Structure formats: structure tokens, C-alpha cells
């Protein structure tokens, strides 16, 4: 009968701790630090009286603790958690002459049906300043709102004839902050009916994994490891560059030499300040 005794000894100390914890948690009356079972009525089984009681208390406490542990984990974990971003694409985009290409949008579209993180509710800003749109290119996820603050002292007339979002904000006064919801994927071209040279693009993407190249033509995108369709969009690219890649953990370099169409942006009138085209 030695083995049961050893077990009971370990159960006894565990039960004491757990029983005390329950008492503390329930705010039990009086000081029971000497043992929760002391005040319990005597039991007929004299062989293991305290142990049986304490075993029962420990078992109840364990059930109690296990229930709350499971409940906590269940509450904290949504059914489909996106995997951690452990891969990184480092794209360098150049043109046919080897010049850095800014404003290219690189987007990664999962091919293996991996769950995506929830969309952000933060709106993006496309300002009108010095009779220009800023920024020239904005990439957003489907479901994103954009506001168009007018920082000029003149009115503008924002419009888009693009299929992904057709809208118009006529006589758009300084200080206005009306929002537009981009709810369809695609490229939206913004113009101004008053200032012909004003031009901007909103690239609406069905994925959260995208970035725009900076002045050095570089973009970095952190994604979970997996298989992706990788697209590059640029206003002067005849069609998006599309390739597929399987990304493991670590940095994946991606180099592009894009054949771009000539820049056909309308030049501003000579009196216009800021960067004229």
C-alpha cells in the first residue's frame, strides 16, 4: 500500500494549496489557512479520512481551474487566427534604363486560402494642396474609406469615372472632409474638373499585404510564409506584372525592371506653383 500513500501525500499538498486558493477567491469567512477540510464533518472511512476529503477538494479545484483555463483560451482565440508574418518581400523596382521607380504598388495575394487579418477601420487621406492631389498613388484594402481634405483656398471638383468607384464631389470647398468608401477592388483614377492637371490613383486591393515603392524604388511587405501571387501595378505600366512565389521564413528579394510607358501627365499652367509637370 505504499504507492497509494505516496500519491496521497502529493495530492494532499496540492489539495491544500488549491483548496486555499478557492477559499481566498470566494472570500471565505475566517482564517482557514490551516486547511479547508478542518471544519468539515468527520468521515466514516478512517483509513484515509483527510486525504479522501482533500482529494475531493483538489479534484473539484482542478475541474474549476481547468474549466476557467479552457474558457479563457477559447475566449482569447478567434476561430481562424492569421498566421504570424514571418516572411518579408523586399522589392526593388527599376525601369528599363535602371532608374528607380517610385509609386509602384506591390501586392501579395495568398494562394493557399490562408485567413487574412481583419481590415483596418482607419480612413486614408488624399489631400488637395497647391492644386495637386497628395499622394499621387494611394494603395488601400477593399472596404477602406478615404477623406479628401481641401487645403487650398480655391474649390476643387473631384471626380472618378473608374469602374471600381464612380463618384463626384462638385464644388468641393476648402475645409470639406467628405469620405468615399472604396468597396470594390480595382484602380480608381481621380481627376479635377477645374484643374485638368490634377491626377491621382487609388489602388483598391483585396489583400492586406501591399506596399508602395519609395523614391529609391523599394518596398517591403511582411507576410506569413506561404504561396502568393505577386502583382506590381504602376500608372505607366501597360498591364500589371504578375508572378507566383512560395515564400519561406526570412527575406525574399524581388527585382523588377519594368518597361514603362511615357509620362503623359498634363503640364500645369506656367503660373502654377509647386511641382509642375
List residues binding Cu ion (CB under 5 A): 156, 192, 194-195, 198
- Residue 28 or 194: the one with the smaller Cβ distance to Cu ion is 194
To Cu ion, the closest distance from the beta carbon of 267 in angstroms equals: 15
Go through the chain and tell me how many residues it has: 277
- Residue 116 or 194: the one with the smaller Cβ distance to Cu ion is 194
To Cu ion, the closest distance from the beta carbon of 94 in angstroms equals: 33
To Cu ion, the closest distance from the beta carbon of 158 in angstroms equals: 8
Instruction: Give per-residue burial for 203-228: e unless 16+ CB within 10 Å, then b.
Output: bbbebbbbbbbeeebbbebebbbbeb
To Cu ion, the closest distance from the beta carbon of 188 in angstroms equals: 17
Three cell numbers written together for 151: 487645403
- Residue 51 or 150: the one with the smaller Cβ distance to Cu ion is 150
CB 164 within 8 A of CB 171: no
Pairing of strands 210-212, 156-162: unpaired
To Cu ion, the closest distance from the beta carbon of 263 in angstroms equals: 20
- Residue 36 or 198: the one with the smaller Cβ distance to Cu ion is 198
Distances (CA, A) of 71 to 63, 77, 80, 200: 12, 10, 17, 50
To Cu ion, the closest distance from the beta carbon of 179 in angstroms equals: 18
- Residue 126 or 237: the one with the smaller Cβ distance to Cu ion is 126
Q: Strand (E) positions, 224-276?
A: 226-233, 241-247, 250-258
Residues 6+ apart with CB under 8 A from 17: none
Burial class (CB in 10 A: 0-12, 13-18, 19+), 185: middle
- Residue 102 or 276: the one with the smaller Cβ distance to Cu ion is 276
Amino acid at each position: 500500500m505504499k504507492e497509494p500513500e505516496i500519491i496521497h501525500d502529493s495530492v494532499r499538498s496540492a489539495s491544500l494549496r488549491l483548496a486555499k486558493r478557492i477559499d481566498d477567491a470566494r472570500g471565505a469567512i475566517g482564517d482557514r489557512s490551516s486547511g479547508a477540510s478542518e471544519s468539515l464533518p468527520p468521515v466514516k472511512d478512517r483509513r484515509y479520512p483527510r486525504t479522501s476529503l482533500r482529494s475531493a477538494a483538489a479534484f473539484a479545484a482542478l475541474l474549476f481551474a481547468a474549466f476557467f483555463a479552457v474558457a479563457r483560451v477559447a475566449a482569447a482565440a478567434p476561430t481562424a487566427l492569421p498566421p504570424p508574418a514571418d516572411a518579408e518581400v523586399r522589392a526593388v523596382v527599376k525601369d528599363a534604363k535602371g532608374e528607380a521607380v517610385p509609386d509602384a504598388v506591390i501586392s501579395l495575394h495568398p494562394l493557399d486560402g490562408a485567413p487574412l487579418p481583419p481590415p483596418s477601420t482607419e480612413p486614408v487621406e488624399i489631400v488637395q494642396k497647391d492644386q495637386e492631389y497628395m499622394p499621387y498613388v494611394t494603395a488601400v484594402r477593399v472596404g477602406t474609406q478615404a477623406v479628401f481634405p481641401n487645403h487650398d483656398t480655391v474649390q476643387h471638383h473631384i471626380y472618378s469615372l473608374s469602374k471600381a468607384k464612380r463618384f463626384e464631389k462638385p464644388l468641393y470647398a476648402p475645409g470639406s472632409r467628405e469620405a468615399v468608401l472604396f468597396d470594390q477592388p480595382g484602380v480608381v483614377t481621380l481627376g479635377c474638373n477645374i484643374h485638368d492637371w490634377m491626377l491621382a490613383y487609388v489602388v483598391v486591393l483585396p489583400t492586406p499585404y501591399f506596399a508602395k515603392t519609395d523614391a529609391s524604388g523599394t518596398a517591403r511587405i511582411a507576410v506569413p510564409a506561404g504561396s502568393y501571387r505577386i502583382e506590381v501595378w504602376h500608372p505607366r505600366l501597360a498591364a500589371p506584372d504578375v508572378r507566383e512565389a512560395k515564400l519561406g521564413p526570412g527575406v525574399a528579394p524581388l527585382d523588377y525592371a519594368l518597361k514603362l510607358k511615357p509620362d503623359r501627365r498634363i503640364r500645369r499652367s506656367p503660373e502654377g506653383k509647386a511641382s509642375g509637370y
